[in-house]
């Protein structure tokens, strides 16, 4: 997918990284992108174009169903009507191959990120032995007054990383880590947007910062997006990787349980916005 696309960017664009380049150059580019931006896009990532197209078509057919059918699976999040699928559930349907490809790409990216931190390639793999990854299908209909609505409120993702497929309707915006400026994440054909989540911020001892992002609606066009959230096992205890801490760079977060953290964010943010939820700030070590 995305064969032949040049990996070039403007100064204000999120980096586009060609995964078919040499491992050393890819690791270096990912490290710089994670540290300076908290996100990047990938091309030539190995996921077949026809497989992605098949899954995208299935998604659009789903959203074209009568409202009463879609309501059986609807979950309201900030005005958006997304539909979630757990990895195991997803692997049983007609697009089983897509789920497996997302898992393969997730592990590949985690290994490259691990190396970018100066760690062994598979240092982080053990956290995902019983991973709780899931995907989401998002459809935003056209909105006649987009200035009065927000597709998805600003937030960070609670897991390790997110792999996002967005269409050319645009709308995704990210807050750059180095200056706090909101910038649109430009659509790149056949690319995936990769953003750092809370868990990688903890593991990296805040060398990499979880990306704050949001999505705007379009006044004329509907918008489709497909995020895949690569999450650790519920039982995993989260804390900075030992090899990345020392006397000069002590742990910036104390240990906590991933499952409890995820549950608090999921049922607080999405189902009860007024409820105080756990955030990374609650686990910061006082300086």
> Tell me, what's the pLDDT at 197?
96
Structure-block tokens of residue 2: 């995305």
Sorted by where each begins, the domain ranges of the chain are 16-235
Backbone conformation region of residue 258, classed left if phi is above 0, alpha if psi is from -120 to 50, else beta = alpha
The SS3 of residue 135 is: strand
> Tell me, what's the pLDDT at 208?
96
> Tell me, what's the pLDDT at 2?
41
Q: What stretches in the chain show pLDDT beneath 50?
A: 1-10, 77-81, 91, 270
> Tell me, what's the pLDDT at 120?
98
Residues 187, 167: Cα–Cα separation, whole Å? 7
pTM: 0.86
Residues 259, 282: Cα–Cα separation, whole Å? 15
Residues 106, 112: Cα–Cα separation, whole Å? 10
CATH of 16-235, one of 1.10.1060.10, 3.30.465.10, 2.60.120.330, 1.10.645.10: 2.60.120.330
> Tell me, what's the pLDDT at 6?
39
**DSSP code of 266?**
I
Strand arrangement, sheet containing 152-155:
152-155, 212-215, 172-175, 182-184
Residue among 276, 199, 203, 193 nearest 245 (CA): 203
């Amino acid at each position: 997918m995305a064969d032949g696309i040049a990996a070039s960017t403007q100064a204000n664009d999120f980096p586009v990284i060609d995964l078919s380049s040499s491992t050393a150059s890819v690791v270096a580019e990912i490290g710089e992108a994670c540290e300076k931006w908290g996100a990047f896009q990938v091309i030539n990532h190995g996921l077949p174009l026809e497989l992605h197209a098949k899954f995208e078509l299935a998604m659009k057919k789903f959203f074209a169903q009568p409202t009463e059918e879609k309501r059986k699976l609807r979950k309201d999040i900030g005005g958006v009507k997304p539909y979630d699928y757990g990895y195991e559930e997803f692997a049983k349907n007609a697009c089983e191959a897509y789920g497996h490809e997302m898992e393969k790409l997730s592990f590949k990216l985690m290994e490259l990120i691990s190396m970018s931190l100066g760690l062994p390639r598979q240092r982080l793999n053990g956290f995902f032995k019983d991973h709780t990854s899931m995907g989401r299908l998002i459809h935003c209909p056209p909105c006649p007054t987009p200035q009065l609505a927000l597709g998805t409120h600003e937030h960070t993702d609670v897991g390790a990383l997110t792999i996002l497929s967005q269409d050319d309707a645009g709308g995704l915006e990210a807050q750059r880590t180095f200056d706090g400026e909101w910038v649109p994440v430009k659509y790149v054909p056949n690319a995936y947007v990769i953003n750092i989540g809370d868990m990688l911020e903890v593991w990296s001892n805040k060398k990499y910062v979880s990306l704050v992002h949001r999505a705007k609606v379009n006044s004329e066009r509907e918008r489709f997006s497909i995020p895949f959230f690569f999450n650790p096992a519920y039982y995993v205890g989260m804390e900075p990787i030992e090899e990345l801490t020392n006397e000069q760079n002590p742990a910036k977060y104390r240990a906590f349980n991933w499952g409890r953290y995820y549950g608090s964010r999921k049922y607080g943010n999405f189902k009860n916005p007024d409820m105080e939820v756990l955030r990374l700030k609650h686990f910061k070590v006082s300086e």
